[in-house]
Structure 1
Amino acid sequence: MELCRGKKDATEAGKKKIVVIDDPISSLSHIYVFNVGRLIHNEFLRTEKYEQVFLLTHSLYFFYEMTDTNKDRRKEQQKLFRIRKNTAGSEILEMNYEEIQNDYHSYWFVIKDDKQPPALIANCMRNIIEYFFNFVEKKDLNNVFQKPAMQENRFQAFCRYINRESHSLGQNIFDIKEFNYADFKDAFALVFKENGYEEHYKRMIK
């Protein structure tokens, strides 16, 4: 920050700078989101000292803290992008403010991309199931995995992964390196269908 404010040496000519702030909020500093956000706003955004400021983050809370709530001002002063990385490489996509809603929606965004790493897709599926059924619907999923529809051989890897990775079970976590995306997606859809939430699945997966 001090280098952004000043110069490398006394002879350096004054010039506007391009600043890149890379992920200033970690999982251990989330309680300081507001303080860090105010510091960046005051030092880098509410000033004309800098030519451009690039701010990178994976924190949804920090994203909302930094984006301008005024639609017209946001359109004039800020541009929003999503960096998507999968097995095909990385790409930068322009996005609208309204596209970012919450972590739950972000998980659905990931599982629709079959080029994402298998471990990430499987983990997002688990997070969706756990959040929707355990925290929103207050349902016990133990019975759904015993239903005849879930007993097909091609669904067994999915069932084992979801059960073993659940926070509610005291079993060791294992890392999934590869899987059949179609089988996992079909089994994932079946969980919602068997519990009477097929319409919710169709709405979120489209």
Structure 2
Amino acid sequence: LPLIDLLESMLFKNLAIISSKSKNPAISVELDNTDKRCTPINKLATQINETVSAIEDKANKVSEIKANIKTRMWNALKYQSQDILLLEKQANEQISKEMAVLDARLSRIKLIGQTVRNKINDLRLQTSNIDETIDRINDNLKYLGVTGFEIVKSNAPENNNFFMLSRGSNSSKEIFKSLSEGEKTLITFLYYIEQCNGSMSKDSEIPDSEKIIVIDDPISSLSQNYIYDIASLIQSKVIKGNRFKKVIILTHSLFFYHELLKLAPRNLDKFQAKYGLYLVSKNEYSQVSTLEPKELKNDYQSLWYILKDVVNSKTDPIILPNIMRNILEYYFGFVHRKDQLSDIINKLADNEPNQGFKSFYRYINRESHSDPTNIGFMMRVQPQIYLDRFRSVFVASDDVAHYECMMQ
């Protein structure tokens, strides 16, 4: 600042005068008076200090000022929105009153429902509800051509709400032991169907919409003659109408699998909306994969499917030679060329440079059930090595187009 520069020049001038006086004490000197020059600077310093004090005062009141601004802001918003807030408050109060009325009605309905359920249970204790069930099971037995036994009501007074098996005039607990495994499976299945479609106990019934129905291999010990009828019963009594939350059917039988599919909707969109098909592959761990309706067609095609599962590491390779042997038996037996197959395999075995794979050709040349002796030639190699030799059989018989088609 000019004032500071002027003050500095006066200071240096006074220092010089003092220095000359110290060198020559006899002389008389007079120093310049700096009071007048300091007055403007002191005034400026006072103004700066006042400004700083004002800023410090404001800094000390930041929290108070923020609170004041916040209060003024919300007051302004309230003033601008008070009509809308009043309407919202009135609407909420009205909704609360309506909800209270609905809650009261719901409580009354639940109380009435519980009273009705209790009354139904009391009536069930006084009446028998199995007559229609007995008639339906017996009708289904006749429909299936089973006339050797039937279901009758228990003749014990204390068990009048139960039923038992009967052969003509003979009704006893020993009859069940005289049934074949297929007949036991059949009567159990029909009983289970009735259980799915209604309560057969005195307890309150579970709604159909909450039931998950699981049917595990219902024709495993039945005659093939029953497969169509069992599939029809499942379709009409369990699947039809979408009454249940979910229906899960497990089976090892491709015949039964296809009978169920024949009864399903033909339209693909309707089928996919209602059905899901899955294949369980068991290796070190079980794997579940999805299926399309036409992926498994018959036993022969299922062998090719298993073959591809091995190639895709879904199934243990130990079964690979046996699957290949069965495929060759099916195919060349169907086209009546079994003798040619044997000649082709023997020729390939003779030309095979690897002794281990000579055993492979010998093995698949034996019919599946004609030789009970097992051989231990299986080595831990990549499935593709066996697949190449398997393909060579179809190449040698001019049937490679069939191989390529089935492996797609």
- Write the mapping of 1:145-160 to structure 2, written as runs, cut at 5 A: 145-147=345-347, 148-150=350-352, 152-160=354-362
Structure number with the higher helix fraction is 2
Match of 2:166 in 1: none
Q: Supply the distance in 1 between the matched residues of 2:377 and 2:221 (Cα, whole angstroms).
A: 24
Length-normalised TM-score, structure 1: 0.83
Match of 1:172 in 2: 372
Q: Which amino acid aligns with 1:127?
A: N
Return the offset for 1:119. Answer: 4.5
Q: Supply the distance in 2 between the matched residues of 1:50 and 1:110 (Cα, whole angstroms).
A: 33
Q: Which sections of structure 2, spanning at least 5 residues, go unmatched? A: 1-191
- Write the mapping of 1:49-68 to structure 2, written as runs, cut at 5 A: 49-67=243-261, 68=264
Q: Deviations over 1:23-42 (max 9, x none)?
A: 11226532311111112122
Q: Which amino acid aligns with 1:110?
A: I
Match of 1:94 in 2: 290
Q: Supply the distance in 1 between the matched residues of 2:195 and 2:377 (Cα, whole angstroms).
A: 43
**Are the structure 2 counterparts of residues 126 and 4 from structure 1 closer, same or farther at C-alpha, using a change threshold of 3 Å?**
same
1:85 equivalent in alignment to 2:85: no
**Are the structure 2 counterparts of residues 22 and 178 from structure 1 closer, same or farther at C-alpha, using a change threshold of 3 Å?**
farther
Equivalent pair of 2:278/2:288 in contact (CA under 8 Å): yes
Query: RMSD value over aligned CA atoms?
Result: 2.6
Match of 1:105 in 2: 301
Structure number with the higher strand fraction is 1
Equivalent pair of 2:329/2:338 in contact (CA under 8 Å): no
**Are the structure 2 counterparts of residues 186 and 20 from structure 1 closer, same or farther at C-alpha, using a change threshold of 3 Å?**
same
Match of 1:29 in 2: 223
Equivalent pair of 1:83/1:91 in contact (CA under 8 Å): yes
Return the offset for 1:69. Answer: 4.8
Return the offset for 1:113. Answer: 2.8
Q: Which moved more, 1:25-34 or 1:4-13?
A: 4-13
Return the offset for 1:137. Answer: 4.8
Q: Deviations over 1:142-174 (max 9, x none)?
A: 21122143464132232232233434xx42253
* 3-state DSSP of counterpart to 2:371: coil
Q: Aligned pairs, how many?
A: 203
Match of 1:10 in 2: 202
* 3-state DSSP of counterpart to 1:84: strand
Equivalent pair of 1:20/1:54 in contact (CA under 8 Å): yes
1:136 equivalent in alignment to 2:335: yes
Greater Rg, structure 1 or structure 2?
2
Q: Supply the distance in 2 between the matched residues of 1:174 and 1:31 (Cα, whole angstroms).
A: 35
Return the offset for 1:129. Answer: 0.4
Identity of aligned residues (%): 34
Equivalent pair of 2:215/2:250 in contact (CA under 8 Å): yes
Length-normalised TM-score, structure 2: 0.45
**Are the structure 2 counterparts of residues 8 and 28 from structure 1 closer, same or farther at C-alpha, using a change threshold of 3 Å?**
closer
Q: Which sections of structure 1, spanning at least 5 residues, go unmatched? A: none
Q: Which has the higher contact order (CA 8 A, sep 6+)?
A: 1
